[in-house]
Amino acid sequence: MAACAFAFKLLPLVTGRLCCRASCPARSAARSFSRTPARSHRVTGTGALTGKVDRFGGVTVNLADIGLPVDISESSFSRILQEALSQWKAEGKVAVWLRVPISLSRCAAAASTHGFTFHHAKHDHAVLELWLAEGQSRLPGFATHQIGVAGAVVDESNGKVLVVQDRNKTRNAWKFPGGLSDPGENIGATAVREVFEETGVHSEFRSLLSVRQQHEHPGAFGMSDMYIICRLRPLTYDIDFCTQECLRCEWLDLAELAETNDTTPISSRVARLLLHGLERGFDQIDLAMEELPAVYSGKFYQLYHRQLPPTPPST
């Protein structure tokens, strides 16, 4: 949203997974709520409320950190909040983010009487929002997409690709191994990790092949889903697949995967894309990754694009 004054890290809505591999135990997806911290500083509201002001003029208050009595009543918190809101409005603050731990959930009820609404909730806290500036709220919604990543591991010596059949699907179709990306995890790293967790095969990232966008996805709590397929190069070839997640795992001829009915439309399409790459060169299909410095000091981002032709030397 162009008018949005706040930025949030995109978090998958679901990041849990099953894996029987002892060396890759399922990891907890509980991560702390992350906002852009650049140029923030302390500000003190009246009463017991203190918060951080960001560079956009919003105040973030974490009730777990400000020393409220554990037995504070709704009415007492309401009075403290009202005093702080009056001060922040007078100072020209544009919005307030209120992080409420579940142990102080009564404070959320009190905040609602001052116009706060829920923004999102996680395991042990909820975040409420209140727009203080004039006009319609320009605060962004919480993460609306989950990011799924699969790895098409291609053995260029024989034209085979690593595929699995999911145990928990109603139809046993061949597909590329993959799963949901963890917060802060690069796409290529997700593909390599998921391939190993499901199949036992080590691989390395080579390129991005395709992106599928789907809305109202039943596996994403009705939200939107981005499904990304990467091309990987195998480093090992022996299969030791996770029997909790996979029913079968094989090295399958790309030509067979492109034609069989025992696959998904996207897997068949990508198989044909990979066959084209084998015949004409992967530079014809690859979106390679380049890491570039971001405008934020000390940060980098990954840019995926077709490779540019080499620049001829100057004479």
DSSP string computed for 233-299: EES-------TTTEEEEEEEEHHHHHH-SSB-HHHHHHHHHHHHHHHH-GGGT-BEEEEEE-SSTT-
What is the fold, at CATH topology level, of the domain defined by 145-290? Nucleoside Triphosphate Pyrophosphohydrolase (3.90.79)
Residues of the chain with pLDDT under 50: 1-20, 22-46
Cα–Cα distance, 177 to 199 (Å, whole number): 8
Cα–Cα distance, 119 to 47 (Å, whole number): 25
**Residue tagged active-site, from 129, 194, 197, 245:** 197
- Same fold yes or no, 52-131 and 145-290: no
- Active-site annotation holds for 197: yes
> Residues with Cβ < 8 Å from 14, sequence gap 6 or more?
29, 146, 180, 219, 220, 221
Rg (CA), the chain: 25
User: What does the domain layout of the chain look like in residue ranges?
Assistant: 52-131, 145-290
pLDDT at 218: 80
DSSP one-letter code for 66: T
Q: Which one of 3.40.630.30, 3.40.50.170, 3.30.720.110, 3.40.50.12500 gives the CATH number of domain 52-131?
A: 3.40.630.30
Model confidence pLDDT, tens digit, residues 208-242:
999 999 998 887 778 899 999 999 999 999 999 99
Against a cut of 0.85, is the pTM above it?
no
* CB contact at 8 A, 59 and 92: no
pLDDT at 167: 85
Cα–Cα distance, 147 to 198 (Å, whole number): 18
